[in-house]
Amino acid sequence: MKKLGISIYPEHSTVEKDKAYIKLAHQYGFKRIFTCLLSVNGEKEQIIKEFKEIVDYANSLEMEVIVDIAPRVFGTLNISYNDLSFFADLGAYGIRLDMGFTGNEESIMTYNPYGLKIEINMSNATKYLENILAYKPNHSNLIGSHNFYPHRYAGLSYSHFVKCSEEFKRHGIRTAAFINSQAASYGPWPVSEGLCTLEMHRNLSVVTQAKHLFYSDLIDDVIIANAYASEEEFKQLAELNQNGKDLFTLNIDLHDSITDLEKKIVLDEFHFYRGDVSDYLIRSTQSRVKYRDEEFKPTYTPHIRRGDILIENELYGQYKGELQIALQDMENSGKTNVVGRIAEEEIFLLDFLHPWSKFQFKEN
């Protein structure tokens, strides 16, 4: 099961605001919470008090709180890697190691008696995971997540992201990555130019970012990195998580020239990517069978661009009524009605739609 998550930063907010945010996220089906313990100001008891109330509230809603912690904080709080009772007392679901140890320590930590998940950094493309696995960890308590980046242009390249993520998926490790709310304003650090794992996501909508991560088949959990995301963003992500994470969904705009029947085909019919693959078209052919006796007059037939949604008109004979998505720019002979277009920011998602994949459209 894939999960959605949020992030909270108690040092920069209040308990009341964080509780309200957690409650709203819970209402929309979010399951995970990321929070930081990268710096220590005050005594151990005070830190427990500041975090515990929020964590207890999240636990009461059956949400999973992962606490990000740097190795230096272990020393400051006098915590040993073979005694994680501090985090159990805090009520955490697990801890994320911002920087790791030598591999054996992480392996030992996965056998903690509290069942705490040990989440490790996925973004460095080193032999870190292989090193931990060599020490025979408790596989069920080992998970991974990518970093996030507040500095514009500092986020991961997609090729690097794939390289890192594939290693974790190869070993069956649960994975997570972060997306950037366009409504949120802060993260754990003073610099805040958005907060995401992939640089290409920085200016995209949350739902497009989440689709990309889910459709890559490399990421199990998607977490909003900055606070506070808007309720509208929660709604969009919740709808995706309920209806679209297993059924590939593309946001589209329909042209005024579309007929009622064509609109029904686009929005209501079941679509799958035909298996005999073309370089130029994604073909969904069942509509031409179902509506073979209907009229499909020529309407809007301009030059075809990548990302256009097409329905063949009656000039194409037996192909009339077939729905297609253009993968390349093409000439239009006048036999093809251009009925709509995929949202510009989502056209790149066509690269993740594969033969025999089932898909649907959602009108903007």
Q: How sure is the predictor about 189, in pLDDT bands with cuts at 50, 70 and 90?
A: confident
Q: How sure is the predictor about 324, in pLDDT bands with cuts at 50, 70 and 90?
A: very high
Domain 250-363: give its CATH code: 2.40.100.10
CB atoms within 10 A of CB 119: 25
- Report the chain's mean pLDDT, rounded to a whole number: 94
d(CA 54, CA 359): 39
- In the predicted model, what is the mean pLDDT of residues 6-29? 94
User: Nearest 5°: phi and psi at 176?
Assistant: -145, 155
Domain boundaries, the chain: 3-246, 250-363
pLDDT at res. 47: 67
d(CA 104, CA 296): 67
d(CA 18, CA 20): 5
- In the predicted model, what is the mean pLDDT of residues 45-62? 88
| pTM of the predicted model as reported, rounded to 2 decimal places | 0.94
DSSP string, 154-182: -SBPHHHHHHHHHHHHHTT-B-EEEE--S
Tell me the one-letter amino acid at 335: K
pLDDT at res. 38: 64
65's CB contacts (< 8 A; 6+ apart) are 33, 35, 55, 58, 59, 91, 92, 93
DSSP string, 315-363: GGGGGTT-EEEESS-B---S-EEEEEEE-GGGGGGGGG--TT-EEEEEE
Tell me the one-letter amino acid at 296: F
- In the predicted model, what is the mean pLDDT of residues 85-110? 92
d(CA 264, CA 328): 25
As a whole-number percent, the residues of the chain with pLDDT over 90 amount to: 84
d(CA 224, CA 75): 29
Task: Please identify, in words, the CATH class of the domain defined by 3-246.
Answer: alpha beta
